[in-house]
Amino acid sequence: MGSDKNEEYYILFASCIPVKGVKRSVIIDTERENMFFISNEMYDIINDLKSQPYIALVEEYDVESTLVIKNYIDILSQNELGFWTTEPNRFPDISMNWESPSVITNAIIDINKCSAHNWDDIFSQLEELGCKDVQLRYYFFEELDEISRVLNLLDGSTIKSVEILIKYDRKITKKNLEFLTDKYLRIKTLTIHSSPENEVYVMRSRGNRDGMGNIFFVTQKIENNTHCGQINEQYFVLNGINVFTEAKNFNSCLNKKISIDCDGSIKNCPTLNHTYGNVKETRLSSVIDSHFQSYWHINKDQISICKECEFRYVCTDCRGFLENKYDKPKKCLYNPYTLTWENDFQEV
């Protein structure tokens, strides 16, 4: 701190956004994809410092509390989360609005051995809706040649990324998987579920591709759509203001999502019961009405318990397996009232 702070304010960088929980708060650094814990008292002080100078604020506190505040601010500055200024009005908060030109931004397609998806038609319909990201979930081992055939249909497509989950088989080799992700640059992640051990292969062979093409072996057995919906720290999403603002305004899982289950039924998500017809007879565009979109608008500020959680804007969400669609996710491991994580999620 300088010699004269009578007219100085301390404010956070616009990309560093504080979020208050019932027991503690966090600062989400959306630019550097990091998170810092602070007390709720410090959250209130940070807000107060935007509208009154530091000296005026600390006059309301005793000497010991003032030292605590100064130490907090020093830590924030050391971590490059905020700065001093005499002109706070020149640094407004970043807009919390979110919008997308796409009718649908992302899709999940489930596949089992009985599935008979018309991939060419499905991809074409998703393109018409502006979909950019697709997840293909194979609940069995599918030959890599068949996956290649499906991916070839995306040549010239506006769909920009594909996540693929397939079941482990002993014939799978790391070399073959690397060949697949090297050949098809749309592959965002390739996850081999039901594996004998957990392993991660970070693909660095293609230069800067924003983390695209990484290969994950996971021991989790994913046999059907009931295995999704888990909520824990490893699924927190910190990459960018766009993700944060979407979660603040809309449902962090279902907003602008469409799903096709193993039988071709069209849903908001494969875990939800309600269907909107079958893709074999029903156009995807014909189901995007107000009823289909109702889940899009259930954000964490409306959900029981979640609305008091400090992680609510970086957390994933699941509206499946619930009796009340405004309840906390069934498989959430976190308790914001005790600041503890449970050992395992609740089985459904």
The pLDDT tens digits of the residues spanning 153-203 come to 999 999 999 999 999 999 999 999 999 999 999 999 999 999 999 999 887
For residue 41, pLDDT beyond 80: yes
The tokens describing 94, both together, are: 């970043």
Percent of the chain topping pLDDT 90: 76
Using CA atoms, how far apart are residues 293 and 297, in angstroms rounded to an integer?
Answer: 7
Res. 304 pLDDT band, cuts 50 70 90: very high
Res. 209 pLDDT band, cuts 50 70 90: low
State the amino acid at position 306 in one-letter form: C
Using CA atoms, how far apart are residues 136 and 139, in angstroms rounded to an integer?
Answer: 10
For residue 301, pLDDT beyond 70: yes
Task: Give residue 206's pLDDT.
Answer: 52
pTM of the complete model: 0.89
Of 45-54, 118-127, 201-210, where does the model show the most confidence? Answer: 118-127
Residues 187, 212 contacting (CB under 8 angstroms): yes
> For residue 67, what is the enclosing H or E element?
helix 63-78
For residue 210, pLDDT beyond 70: no
User: Nearest CA to 129 among 287, 303, 290?
Assistant: 287
3-state secondary structure of 327: coil
- Name the least confident of 56-60, 137-141, 229-233: 229-233
